Amino acid sequence: MELAQATPAHKIGMGGMLQSRHLRTKISHALLHVVLLVLGVTFIVPFLWVASTSLKLPGQIFISPIEWIPKHPRWENYAEIFTYLPFHRFVLNSFFLAILESSGAVIASTIVAYGMSRIRWSGREVVFGLVVATMMLPGVITLIPTFVLFKRLGWVGTYYPLWVPAWFGNAFFIFLMRQYMLTIPIELDEAAKIDGASHFRTLWQVIVPLCGPALATIAIFAVLGSYNSFMLPRIYISQTSMYTIQLGLQLFQGRFGNFWHLVMAASMISILPPIILFFVAQKYFVQGIQLSGLAGR
């Protein structure tokens, strides 16, 4: 009897506890959503503000409180900035450089990573140490001497200083590719070798087809790094027709800084390509950053 009574009572007790626990997680989740949403809005507000300001006239910008959605959006602002500076040219220059730089970085880094993960040779650990050390070196130390080097070569004023170094591989990309290649079973290479395949064929026909995600990740980071870079183009490029979008935006800000609506329209043109790239390839972005964190292990 006692036992029979005790069991349902126990069950009710457990059920009540579970219910209150369930309610508690529900409330805490709701609170969490509020916090995350407020923070999310804080991060996104600058974008909304740029977009909104780019569609206004000066008279609509300098009023308080802010009118977030302009009643009469002025799309003409976007046409107007092209009459002052050739922004389409700047964007194309940026794309051209991004393609040259990223293809070099991807090809060279893949080849080097193969030598560091698929070929057994004494010394590859030393090279790995050098790669990791290079990742940690502050690039500022080479700023002045490489300028002198490129000046001697007659490369100042050309795109060469911006893309040629990429074709020697990038330490960070080499690191990512190496880590990825190490996860591929070595038996695949051995089978290829038995079939008489050279290292180059093994790389091209066995390894590269299996590295899709890693290749996509480093390609995206290379494109983004090239597109967003400012200091080196600022140092090496002086002719306006060769400007990248970042240089063009800086020039425009200097000349037309008082016209907020136009500067914001120009900023939108600079911001949109990376954002589109991000939404197309979000998975690889996240993957790449997570992998970069592995460098700490």
Binding status of residue 90 toward another protein by CB under 8 A: no
**Around 38, how many Cα atoms within 13 Å sit in the side-chain half-sphere?**
5
Please list the helix, strand and coil fractions of the chain in percent, rounded to the nearest 5, in that order.
80, 0, 20
In sequence order, the 6+-apart residues with CB closer than 8 A to the CB of 88 are 82
Give the nearest distance from C-beta 265 to another protein in angstroms.
11
Give the nearest distance from C-beta 144 to another protein in angstroms.
5
Q: Are 161 and 236 in contact (CB under 8 A)?
A: yes
Unique residue bearing structure tokens 């390894």: 207
In this structure, what token pair is assigned to residue 200?
């180059």
Q: From the list 70, 74, 96, 115, which residue makes contact with another protein (rule: CB under 8 A)?
A: 115
The distance from CA 285 to its chain's CA centroid, rounded to whole angstroms, is 6
Beta carbon nearer to another protein, 83 or 258:
258
The distance from CA 200 to its chain's CA centroid, rounded to whole angstroms, is 30
Q: From the list 80, 89, 99, 111, which residue makes contact with another protein (rule: CB under 8 A)?
A: 111
Binding status of residue 274 toward another protein by CB under 8 A: yes
Q: From the list 77, 93, 217, 270, which residue makes contact with another protein (rule: CB under 8 A)?
A: 270
Give the nearest distance from C-beta 286 to another protein in angstroms.
6
Binding status of residue 232 toward another protein by CB under 8 A: no
Residues within window 140-179 making contact with another protein, judged by CB under 8 A = 140-149, 151, 165, 167-169, 171, 174
| Region of 6-14, 77-85, 208-216, 266-274 interacting with another protein (CB under 8 A) | 266-274
Instruction: Count the neighbouring beta carbons within 10 Å of the beta carbon of residue 224.
Output: 19
Distance CA 140, CA 223 (A): 21
Binding status of residue 182 toward another protein by CB under 8 A: no
| Region of 1-9, 73-81, 84-92, 264-272 interacting with another protein (CB under 8 A) | 264-272
Binding status of residue 185 toward another protein by CB under 8 A: no
Beta carbon nearer to another protein, 18 or 66:
66
| Region of 4-12, 59-67, 81-89, 207-215 interacting with another protein (CB under 8 A) | 59-67
Phi, psi of 259 (to 5 degrees): -95, 85
